[in-house]
Chain A
Amino acid sequence: MTDQFRRTEAALVRLFKRVHMQPSQRFYERMADAPWAVHSPRASARRSVSLTLAAIAFVVVVLLLAIPFRSLAQQVFHFFTQAETNVIENPVLLEPVFEQPALADLSDMQRASEVAGFAIRIPQDLPAGLQSVSAAVNPGSASITYSDGQTSLIFLQSMQVESTFYVGAGALVEAVLVDGVNGEYVRGGWRQVDGDLVWDNTLPESLLLWEKNGIRYVLLVQAGDISRDTLIQIADSLR
């Protein structure tokens, strides 16, 4: 009886996950006039995605431009480069630049893939409650943000595979098998403290990176608690 109950419960969860339940354009147009709205909510959502991407790029750029590479690099993994220390003093902070994406809608996957220039993949298995809140597609890249109000998960896929992510000396980079290939996982992130960047393993952030068929995939947890195994499960469900 319990097994049957669990099977029915699991079937219900699967079914509800597949249901497409998002407000229409009319709702967003109405909300663009809400007292708290400076920009339209969709534009703001796109802005937050782009700023996130820019923020990730920013750490890479800052470290490449402002810090002598030889003195910084200690251990190079495939996707991550580990710094010699956990503190980067007085980095040059570059303001992220917001750009409107070429496409912010994934309802027509064929068109989105044409814009990106590669077949965009979508996770089929997400933790309960997480749903897509925004998307940004540009030539060569696509990003989707999922949220349940507390947890924020960003899924990036990009044709640009040369970049590396810098992590602190104390970061624990793990090699993992993901999506049928080798990938790397790290938990924690850079925190700004009095103008310095400090690596913090306890920040509620994590990154899972891997490459497949010439595409770099990144699952980034920005807030909330998604375990390494759940991230791998999400990655393994890509279609």
Chain B
Amino acid sequence: MEIVSAKLRRRAKAKPYSHEAAFRQLFEAAHPIVFRYVYGVLGGPRQEVEDVTAETFLKAWRAREHFEGDRQAAIRWLLTIARNEIIDRLRAQQRGLDEAWLEDIEFADSDLSPEQQLVEREQWQQVQAMVQTLNESQREILVLRYMLGWKVKQIAAHLGMEENTVSVNLRRTVQKLQSEVQQQEGKESQT
């Protein structure tokens, strides 16, 4: 009896999401993360983002017997599947990432004043314009760092990059945004 139990425990550790209940838990915990990631990297439209997210989990389900690792590894695995799905779709549609980024976005309810909400909208438009100029890799780093809150070390491990490369990339992206904001403010002060 004890031997059977030990075998089952080893199997569960080796293939943690082979059982549907375990996979269901993974879906419940990870689908907002995958959705946010796809939204950030692909940029929309929302329906396509949902299709990619759904397809990611269906592919993961089909490959679940081959996955081994903890929850963090499972999320990295799902994001890799999602990234490949995005690339395949972009290739099939013969388009790049230069289309309008997150146009149909909504902000959470808040008690910001109308003026503050206007400033927030303007900031968002500046971020949108800047993100559209980023390449796929820069955009992914931005999304992982600021939309998913990953640490530089985690991003580097996930993308197979040096930590320094990720840091430099982030710094350049943020500085680019900074200079765009400053240019915009300069134009406004002239008018």
Residues of A that sit less than 8 Å from B by CB: 4-5, 8-9, 11-13, 15-16, 18-24, 26-27, 30-31, 34-38, 41, 44-45, 48, 109, 122, 124, 127-131, 133, 147-150, 152, 239
Q: Mark B115-153, 1 if CB is under 8 A from A, else 0.
A: 000001001100100000000000000000011111000
Q: Mark B172-189, 1 if CB is under 8 A from A, else 0.
A: 001101100100000000
Q: How far is the CA of A127 from the CA of B150 in the complex (A)?
A: 11
Among residues of B, the one whose C-beta sits closest to the C-beta of A20 is B106
Q: How far is the CA of A142 from the CA of B20 in the complex (A)?
A: 30
Q: How far is the CA of A4 from the CA of B148 in the complex (A)?
A: 22
Among residues of A, the one whose C-beta sits closest to the C-beta of B111 is A239
Residues of B that sit less than 8 Å from A by CB: 20, 23-24, 27-33, 35-36, 39, 46-47, 50, 53-54, 57-58, 61, 71-72, 75, 102, 105-111, 120, 123-124, 127, 146-150, 171, 174-175, 177-178, 181
A34 touches B61 (CB 8 A): yes
CB-defined contacts of A4 to chain B, threshold 8 Å: 178
Among residues of B, the one whose C-beta sits closest to the C-beta of A106 is B109
Our pick among A12, A37, A109 for the contact of B109 (Cβ within 8 Å) is A109
Given contacts A26-B47, A128-B146, A239-B110, 14 further A-B contacts (CB under 8 A): A8-B174, A8-B175, A19-B106, A19-B124, A20-B106, A21-B105, A24-B46, A34-B58, A35-B20, A36-B27, A122-B108, A129-B33, A148-B148, A149-B71
Among residues of B, the one whose C-beta sits closest to the C-beta of A48 is B28
B174 touches A128 (CB 8 A): no
Our pick among B27, B36, B127, B178 for the contact of A5 (Cβ within 8 Å) is B178
CB-defined contacts of B39 to chain A, threshold 8 Å: 21
Of the listed residues B29, B32, B178, the one surrounded by the most CB atoms of chain A closer than 10 A to its CB is B32
B177 touches A12 (CB 8 A): yes
CB-defined contacts of B110 to chain A, threshold 8 Å: 18, 124, 239
Among residues of A, the one whose C-beta sits closest to the C-beta of B20 is A36
A16 touches B146 (CB 8 A): yes
CB-defined contacts of A23 to chain B, threshold 8 Å: 31-32, 35, 50, 53
